[in-house]
Structure 1
Amino acid sequence: MTYRNVVSAVVRALASETINSAGGCDFEPKVQCAKQKGEIVGKEAAFLTDCWVFGRLHKALAPAHWRALVAKFSTHTERKHAAIAELTRAMRSPAPERFLHCAVVTWALPRLPGVDGKRSTNVLPAGWYEMDNWSNEPHPVKTQERWRRDIRKALEREVDEALVSAQVLLDAEGLIGTQAA
């Protein structure tokens, strides 16, 4: 199996963790069952590849890169929240701690289109997206916007670096498909 691009590989690998009812990349029963029938093909092969990519990325990427990818792309709620908390602790900003935390949370859980933004289970209440609620002390709007912009740029830079590292790794394994234009 090959992926169209590195983002689809990362998204599928992180989603593989929540595919089965027990959670986690529980591919061994599927492999054992497939071995009895013959070659592993179809959905089982794709799922096995996704689980393998998950493990490979988790082990090979720097912890900071892994955290950024999990916070941005994971569908596993507990891991996503843990990654957000770790990113908040690792970030450096002149913004107050609460502002920093809210900026990271709203970056990782952006407001989505739809009725009240509720197309997803990972949606925050509307008050989370208002910067005035992010600090107890009054700060000029321009300062708040600058803090938020700088925090988001740093987070996106971390994600971009993580994707570049993942691209190198997956290219070496031959998992990213190349198509002629």
Structure 2
Amino acid sequence: MIYSSVLNAVISVLAAETINNVSTQAWQKAYNSQDEDSGSDRVSLVRSCRRGVIDRTQVDSWVGARLRHNLQPALWHALVARYSTRRSHKVEAIGVLHSVLAPKVPAAISTLFLYKAITAWAIPKLAGARPKAATAQSIALPLGVPVWRREAVIKAAVAAARANDVKEQSRSSDAIVLKHSFYDMNTWDNTGKPESTRRRWRKLINDAASELVSEALVCAEDILKTEGVLIHEVTGSVLTGVSE
């Protein structure tokens, strides 16, 4: 697989991290540190291919490892906070960004405000998206139904509801949807600062976080060019046999 842009590569590798599949790590078994003497570790990826074809998720896993290894931690976590959809990684990255940005913003900005501003930047409010609320289960039973029958119907309905809850949880356990009230800046500051001040602080924090992302993408482009996985950098590459 060859990436059409740096952002496309970053989003792909971070999406691959949500896949719990050990086959995506197959390239690690073929890793040889001597391959990096040439400035590229692509050889270990090629060695791991089966029947001359390299799986897309395996490429994403390998590229992600190269970015994580070569980018400064602050830059890598900026990308994760902004683009990852994996809950645990995103939460960790937000915590790292808090430590990185704290010395760069005015001292008057409280820890609470900084944390909430970074979180809101990393997890923008989506129209119509709300945390799933508990719903009541209703069962219609005709009059005169025997007790044993009524109990059997209720038991079956409860079992079905539980199975559906497990299914829904497996689908969305990694998704983060914040309450709309989280984005209310009145809850970010308990010192009574005016709205204009809070908006100015939020912009400063957003700009600082976005600058880290921009710097990270520039550095990532250099890494991807070195590895030869950007489409405009590759001519006749050994990766042209990668399956989609």
TM-score normalised to structure 2 length: 0.64
Map of 2:11 onto structure 1: 11
* Cα 1:88–1:52 shift into 2, 3 Å: same
The offset of 1:164, in angstroms, is: 0.3
| 1:67–1:87 CA contact under 8 A, matched in 2 | yes
What is the DSSP-based 3-state SS (H/G/I as helix, E as strand, rest coil) of the residue aligned with 1:112?
coil
The within-5 A match list for 1:1-181 is 1-20=1-20, 26-28=24-26, 38-41=51-54, 44=55, 46-91=56-101, 92-94=104-106, 95-116=109-130, 121-178=175-232
What is the DSSP-based 3-state SS (H/G/I as helix, E as strand, rest coil) of the residue aligned with 2:212?
helix
Bigger-Rg structure (1/2): 2
The 2-side partners of 1:82 and 1:157 are apart by 19
Give the CA RMSD over aligned residues. 2.6
| 2:3–2:230 CA contact under 8 A, matched in 1 | yes
The 2-side partners of 1:36 and 1:109 are apart by 36
* Cα 1:36–1:168 shift into 2, 3 Å: closer
The 1-side partners of 2:98 and 2:112 are apart by 10
The number of equivalent residue pairs is: 171
The offset of 1:99, in angstroms, is: 0.4
Sequence identity of aligned pairs in percent?
A: 37
Amino acid at match of 1:69: L
The 1-side partners of 2:2 and 2:52 are apart by 18
The unaligned stretches of length 5 or more in structure 1 are none
The 1-side partners of 2:49 and 2:182 are apart by 51
The unaligned stretches of length 5 or more in structure 2 are 31-47, 133-171, 234-244
Asked which structure has the greater RCO (Cα within 8 Å, sep 6+), the reply is 2
TM-score normalised to structure 1 length: 0.84
Query: Following superposition, which runs of at least 4 residues in structure 1 exceed 4 angstroms of deviation?
Result: 115-118
Amino acid at match of 1:40: V
